[in-house]
Amino acid sequence: MVGSVGCSSLAYEFLNVDYVQAPHGRAPALMTAIKLLEPGLVVFSVQGDGDAGGIGIGELLGAAGRGMPVTVFMYNNMVFGMTGGQM
């Protein structure tokens, strides 16, 4: 699992998975690197709306454009504390 600095940073406390933390909005880039280095791993992230949709939308679209077999769980927590404005 790749987490971010945002509101999902404590998700590893609730899931029994290996975990690395990415800078805010950069989880898809880190997931891409992990998947390229270890193609057999299941790689996913848990990100809030600001992290994935506000700051990290470019990274998310880049990973999707490359067709990387990774999964992003993005949730709308309705809090725009750092990023603000995304719908």
Q: What are the phi and psi torsion angles at 34 (to 5°)?
A: -60, -45
Taking 70 as the pLDDT cut, the residues of the chain under it are: 79-87
Give the per-residue pLDDT at 5.
78
Give the per-residue pLDDT at 84.
56
Long-range contacts of range 76-79, CB-CB < 8 Å, 24 or more positions apart?
76/48, 76/49, 77/7, 77/48, 77/49, 79/7, 79/48, 79/50
pTM of the predicted model, to two decimals? Answer: 0.82
Inter-residue contact 23 to 3 (CB < 8 Å):
no
